[in-house]
Amino acid sequence: MLNARKLILKEIKSFFQYEKKGDKELLKEVLKNIHYDDDYVIIRNEKIKVENIEDTVGVFLANIPYVILGEGELKEDLPEKVKKIQSDALKLISLGINEVATLEIYLILEMSLRALYSEYLSGGVTIKYKDKKVKVKGLDYRKLKLYIRRKGWSRYKVKVNGETFPFSQGSLLSWAEKFMDEKLSLTFRLSINVRNLLAHGEVEWNLFPTISSVKSASYASWLLFTKFRENYE
């Protein structure tokens, strides 16, 4: 007999690039919030109609923030780029464009990471490369990456305020994890991993994104910024 939670865990194991020690135990705990019952997948108090138990995987993968973090809310005190993606995700769900909607939900989280680092840069930072040191102000994450490329500097040797510049998605995630608890960290890492798969056409599931997942992603982003500002303001 198929077990919905075992199906989810097996699927995660097949692709999870950003897995960390302790994730398996945490996943087993949060998966208590989702189960299959007679052609419905129930996440907390929300029922989603599906065709079979295998669709439980697609329900989970489209609603990672909601399953892990619980009910959230749409936050307006987020960067404009994040709020626009949030709005786009809601529109896509209303249109039933599920694969793109799921990608957009997780883009909320990815853009939040980039916007967070941009906020970190906004007050001015010192960039060091070998024997060169320069103070810059007004650059965001994207512009700083471009600045480094145009200088011809090795991305692995650039320091920002004494820390290695997080040039890649994985290193940016690692940098931001100092502002996350274990559930928030798992939410970001797993969601962004699924986002990467979808962006490269790796769509192997029937996805069932919900507005609840958008709300939880919005709340997750807000939590990240709140913790960051507590540390830097």
Ordered per-residue pLDDT tens for the chain, 233 residues: 469 999 999 999 999 999 999 999 999 999 999 999 999 999 998 999 999 999 999 999 999 999 999 999 999 999 999 999 999 999 999 999 999 999 999 999 999 999 999 999 998 999 999 999 999 888 999 999 999 999 999 988 999 999 999 999 999 999 999 999 999 999 999 999 999 999 998 878 999 999 999 999 999 999 999 999 998 76
Q: How many CB atoms lie within 10 A of CB 175?
A: 18
pLDDT of amino acid 152: 92
Question: What is the pTM for the complete model shown?
Answer: 0.94
Dihedral pair phi/psi, residue 96, rounded to 5° = 75, 20
d(CA 91, CA 86): 9
DSSP letter assigned to residue 15: T
- The most distant pair of C-alpha atoms in the chain lies apart, rounded to whole Å, by 66
d(CA 44, CA 16): 24
Q: At what angle do helices 169-176 and 98-122 cross, to 10 degrees?
A: 60
pLDDT of amino acid 204: 83
